[in-house]
Amino acid sequence: MSIFINKDTKLVVQGITGRDGSFHTKQMIEYGTQVVAGVTPGKGGQTFEGTVPVFNTVYDAVDKTGANTAVIYVPPMGAADAIMEAVDAGCALVVCITEGVPVLDMTRVYPFVKERGARLLGPNCPGLISPGESKVGIIPGRICAPGPVGVVSRSGTLTYEIVYQLTRAGIGQTSCVGIGGDPINGTNFIDCLEAFEKDPHTKAVAMMGEIGGTDEQEAADFVKHHMTKPVVGFIAGQTAPPGRRMGHAGAIISGSAGTAAEKIEAFKAAGMGVAQRPIDFVDLIKAGLK
């Protein structure tokens, strides 16, 4: 099984005719994702690759094709409106790949999405993949394999690294989710951990965090009180000096709350396995699966 997406996912791509949108749409189609529609205002009536109809609005795309999931490849200034348009059209899951979405825009988007009962993944995320079922976003399908491990990460490149190491060791995945590293995002660690806990095919979880904020500590508390499956954690930025921004807008140490040491201690207190390097996930996950 999987979380959030599967073989029944019907995807509409917002920004399908742009450079990034067109490239990754081809990749998703080749992987087997049901890409049923695309949206580019002013280009309604065209087709993408001769098979995917393009519409002017997400509402028309959902109405005509039954799309239930949207992925967004539009510039930062238009991303917030694109998210709200997809939710308003009835998409239950919206995945925003776009990086650089203004935080002020997200303060409007977040409550809008929650009030309508939809799920937002991102922004500034690589999306997600359920190996052998569906891929929404930019995670390379060739490094994934079906199996019993759920993967969730704030970092896109760390997602790829851990998935590659697991697959190379013969350990497949149920779903791999990149939640993004912006200060305000739609889906957090706890949302994913809860979904993996409920998924009968997920037997262990690999979680990659980073310095800054308290999301990892809150996730550790959830693991301690609500998870029955083994969870292995890793914190990126362990050598970062205090106050230094490390790539993501949310990765800023404030006092002691966001340090790697504080997060690792929270993992240990929750009974989680702690990886010092990405390659350590292999042995720790194997031990958890026994």
Query: Do residues 85 and 112 lie in contact, with contact meaning Cβ atoms separated by under 8 Å?
Result: no
- State the catalytic residue, choosing from 24, 225, 226, 248: 248
Distance CA 106, CA 119 (A): 14
Task: Say whether the peptide bond before residue 123 is cis (omega within 30 degrees of 0).
Answer: yes
SS3 content of the chain, % helix, strand, coil (to 5): 35, 20, 40
Task: Report d(CA 255, CA 262) in Å as an integer.
Answer: 11
For the chain, how many residues are written?
A: 290
Catalytic (active site) residue 248: yes
3-state DSSP call for residue 176? strand
Helix (H, G, I), strand (E, B) or coil at 89: helix
Q: 163: which 2 tokens?
A: 């998935």
| Count of other CB atoms within 10 angstroms of residue 19 | 9
- Beta strand residue intervals within the chain, DSSP E: 10-14, 34-39, 47-48, 52-55, 69-72, 93-96, 119-121, 127-130, 134-137, 146-153, 173-178, 204-210, 231-236, 273-274
Q: What CA–CA distance (Å, rounded) separates 67 from 82?
A: 15
State the catalytic residues: 248
